[in-house]
Structure 1
């Protein structure tokens, strides 16, 4: 295994982490912006109002995107384990 192979594995790992975490982070961002605009318009500064909708949305997003996240991580782990078995590491 040379440096190019190592770089490819690391690059694939970062890409998998970004794609797996992206939908959940996007949901948190959108809900956070909606709550912030609502708080700015109504001047309601309740602290729990910022956390509860985000937590609920993140849990729903995890339920919806779990198969996608699982398939991404499984594909990467299969590639790495195949390299280990073949002696590529």
Structure 2
């Protein structure tokens, strides 16, 4: 039982890292590009980066949404199928 809980926890943490990668990477790339743009033009406006990052995260979630949903559904199915064996 304890080994099962540790295995499920390990898989859940790995799934969180994998599922959160597309929006985080999109935000990272857009933030880096905007930082380079701000450095070259010497614009020091902090709010300039918020809207493009928000749009990039939204677009990445729209594109990767079905894949993310499939991963979460597969993990949930794995949990529900393995649950009756321990009770």
Fold-level match, TM-score > 0.5? yes
Shift of residue 87, structure 1, vs aligned partner:
3.7
Aligned length: 87
Tell me the secondary structure at the aligned position of residue 44 of structure 1.
Answer: coil
Q: 2:86 aligns with which of 66, 81, 88?
A: 88
Whole-angstrom distance in 2 between the partners of 1:45 and 1:88: 58
- Report the counterpart of residue 4 of structure 2 in structure 1: 5
The list of structure 1 runs, each at least 4 consecutive aligned residues, that deviate by more than 3 angstroms after superposition, is none
Task: Tell me how far apart the structure 1 counterparts of residues 71 and 85 of structure 2 sit (CA, whole Å).
Answer: 23
Secondary structure in 1 matching 2:86: coil
Structure 1 unaligned residues grouped into runs of 5+: none
Tell me which protein shows more helix as a share of its residues: 2
In structure 2, stretches of 5+ residues that fail to align are none
